[in-house]
Chain A
């Protein structure tokens, strides 16, 4: 196992896309961990005398506010750095919800044919909605807010995990070593957890990595619409929501938070794409 892991790590570093992705993801995690120490200002610190300062390189800009300030004189850079924490949290919670329920339902559906139809029909119903719309409806039901937005984004992604795991289980289940394990007297649960699941792991890792990207994007979208994190929370989507009021006169209030979302999402997508090449050579073109 150790040598296998080492080989994967080496392959990631050699893969151009995956290594750039890993770098972006590592930077994102490091910045969110260190944001209280790296930020030049507090995320809520207002200074009305310094409202709408442009970035440092423009006339009127100062090195004190590298990326400028918003209408309340809050430092954009500090707010973006603090926002990274929210996005990381959103990714962990949403992917956690989606993977937990998705893997569970998919494994059950794939392993116990009696439950297959019922579970997959429910998944079909969820897939009948464009994901952002389903997330909006869930938030409408639960009520707006950051926590509910994370839950909604997680629920929406469940069918993807369920489908993936069910598919893997169905192909693995008929293999001889699984039959052998059952013949040796292993319980269903043991067969499922010891022989079937480890073989579904590769596509699942790819899906979770890409899922981080989708979760950050969808949650930012919900916050932008005013259904997720509420101002003054410095979540990236909420920053864009606030910036939408003033962006025609102060371009920097929306440009930089958007770049942050883009880079974080791109990092996870690159990493996921690269991992797919590395873990499953057949899937790449």
Chain B
């Protein structure tokens, strides 16, 4: 197992090197002088020249890459052109928000997806199966950002309006509430910042109001972001479970008199879940970097929204740093999934040895 893990880790080196080259070249493939692009057409020639020297753009390209790579290995991602703060600090300030949102989305998507897929497989061909599969295909076809807008219309506009109407008719007993649509929590009761995860910070501070505010802010973005993983996981669970149900050991279990319920959930589902876990791991890696659209709609102060801002401002060091972080996380998530997979399924690591 150790050898397998080490070999997989070594395989990462060329990939990560390639990622660094790709990220590095974004600034140079942009056509024209990066310093000029970043500062805009109206910048004074002296300012542009100074930035060129600061970024080392006056050096040969190979030397620039070596410098970039050495800095990377030291953990130095450069400074943002826009804010002049180190890119690592910018990322550290926003990353917890992204992690929190991704975790929440996955906590919604994984159990629901597995349950839906398992039920669909058990009632294969029945209306539950057809409904689940149709629903999941619709889920995959939804533009996430549009789903976010529709959820806002329903739960932040229509819901309070409807409740208001009911209150006018039936008196003050009807509660009026809706869901907030921007940011992570109400700044009036923000808990002291410790971990950066707002839920954890509110719990640590024992602040119930902050916790409630955080959860209310989290619901709509998490549902939006979780929809696609939910659909993907449901489809995966169904097809894996169906193929497990055709295996010999399932027939054996049935033959010795195990109930259909026990055969499905205790025997087959366990084996079917291994590839499903892979999907969950990959989707999680995806959520960490793929929350760009969701974060933009809900003004969620995470990495994704910040990256879009950096792209708009053509702030290359920020774009490079953010992209690199997301790619590395994605690759590591892949690695972790592979290792877990090998740990639970010896055939895999033996095959490659």
Q: Give the A-B pair count, Cβ closer than 8 A.
A: 134
0/1 interface trace, chain B 140-169, chain A, CB 8 Å (1 if under): 111111100110110001000000000000
A122: Cβ under 8 A from any B Cβ: yes
0/1 interface trace, chain A 230-259, chain B, CB 8 Å (1 if under): 000000000010011001100100110110
Q: How far, in angstroms, from A131 to B297 measured CA to CA in the complex? A: 19
How near does chain B come to A26, taking the closest CB pair, in angstroms? 17
Whether the pair B143, A247 counts as a contact (CB closer than 8 A) is no
Whether the pair B137, A269 counts as a contact (CB closer than 8 A) is yes
B172: Cβ under 8 A from any A Cβ: no
Whether the pair A121, B137 counts as a contact (CB closer than 8 A) is no
Whether the pair B239, A221 counts as a contact (CB closer than 8 A) is no
Q: How far, in angstroms, from A278 to B297 measured CA to CA in the complex? A: 39
Q: How far, in angstroms, from A140 to B316 measured CA to CA in the complex? A: 9
Contact of B145 among A221, A248, A285 (CB under 8 A): A221
How near does chain A come to B164, taking the closest CB pair, in angstroms? 15
Whether the pair B146, A258 counts as a contact (CB closer than 8 A) is yes
0/1 interface trace, chain A 87-98, chain B, CB 8 Å (1 if under): 000000000000
Given contacts A130-B286, A213-B141, A258-B146, contact A125 B22 (CB under 8 A): yes
Whether the pair A133, B29 counts as a contact (CB closer than 8 A) is no
Whether the pair B312, A226 counts as a contact (CB closer than 8 A) is yes
A29: Cβ under 8 A from any B Cβ: no
Given contacts A128-B15, A130-B290, A225-B296, contact A262 B146 (CB under 8 A): yes
Known A-B contacts: A136-B292, A262-B141, A266-B137. Give 8 more (CB < 8 A): A128-B18, A128-B330, A136-B308, A137-B319, A221-B144, A227-B308, A266-B141, A273-B137
CB-CB under 8 A from A137, the residues of chain B are 23, 26, 311, 319, 323
Instruction: Name 9 A/B residue pairs within 8 A (Cβ), A-sorted.
Output: A17-B137, A128-B18, A130-B290, A217-B141, A224-B143, A240-B145, A251-B157, A254-B149, A269-B141
Whether the pair A225, B327 counts as a contact (CB closer than 8 A) is no
How near does chain A come to B26, taking the closest CB pair, in angstroms? 5
Whether the pair B15, A125 counts as a contact (CB closer than 8 A) is yes
Whether the pair A141, B26 counts as a contact (CB closer than 8 A) is yes
CB-CB under 8 A from B323, the residues of chain A are 129, 133, 137
Whether the pair A247, B149 counts as a contact (CB closer than 8 A) is yes
**Which residues of chain B in 93-135 are interfacial with respect to chain A, using CB atoms and an 8 Å cutoff?**
121
Main secondary structure of the interface of B (DSSP, over half): helix
A143: Cβ under 8 A from any B Cβ: yes
**Which residues of chain A in 38-96 are interfacial with respect to chain B, using CB atoms and an 8 Å cutoff?**
none
**Which residues of chain B in 291-332 are interfacial with respect to chain A, using CB atoms and an 8 Å cutoff?**
292-293, 296-297, 307-308, 311-312, 314, 319, 323, 326-327, 330-331
Whether the pair B145, A224 counts as a contact (CB closer than 8 A) is yes
Q: How far, in angstroms, from A257 to B146 measured CA to CA in the complex? A: 9
0/1 interface trace, chain B 21-42, chain A, CB 8 Å (1 if under): 0110010011100000000000
Q: How far, in angstroms, from A273 to B133 measured CA to CA in the complex? A: 11
How near does chain B come to A128, taking the closest CB pair, in angstroms? 5
Whether the pair B293, A121 counts as a contact (CB closer than 8 A) is no
Q: How far, in angstroms, from A273 to B150 measured CA to CA in the complex? A: 27
Residue from A121, A137, A227, A269 with most neighbouring chain B CB atoms (10 Å): A137
Q: How far, in angstroms, from A220 to B146 measured CA to CA in the complex? A: 10
Contact of B326 among A129, A142, A244, A269 (CB under 8 A): A129
Given contacts A125-B22, A132-B293, A262-B142, contact A251 B30 (CB under 8 A): no
How near does chain B come to A230, taking the closest CB pair, in angstroms? 13
CB-CB under 8 A from A143, the residues of chain B are 30-31
B243: Cβ under 8 A from any A Cβ: yes
How near does chain B come to A165, taking the closest CB pair, in angstroms? 21
B289: Cβ under 8 A from any A Cβ: yes
CB-CB under 8 A from A157, the residues of chain B are none
B77: Cβ under 8 A from any A Cβ: no
Whether the pair A121, B14 counts as a contact (CB closer than 8 A) is yes
In order of increasing CB-CB distance, the 7 nearest A-B pairs are A258-B146, A125-B18, A266-B141, A285-B242, A285-B239, A130-B289, A265-B141
A124: Cβ under 8 A from any B Cβ: yes
0/1 interface trace, chain B 233-264, chain A, CB 8 Å (1 if under): 00000110011000000000000000000000
Contact of A141 among B19, B29, B289 (CB under 8 A): B29
CB-CB under 8 A from A141, the residues of chain B are 26, 29-30
How near does chain A come to B127, taking the closest CB pair, in angstroms? 13
Contact of A132 among B141, B150, B290 (CB under 8 A): B290
CB-CB under 8 A from A217, the residues of chain B are 141, 143
CB-CB under 8 A from B140, the residues of chain A are 269
Residue from B14, B121, B141, B308 with most neighbouring chain A CB atoms (10 Å): B141
Given contacts A225-B308, A269-B137, contact A132 B292 (CB under 8 A): yes
Q: How far, in angstroms, from A258 to B141 measured CA to CA in the complex? A: 11
Q: How far, in angstroms, from A170 to B249 measured CA to CA in the complex? A: 32
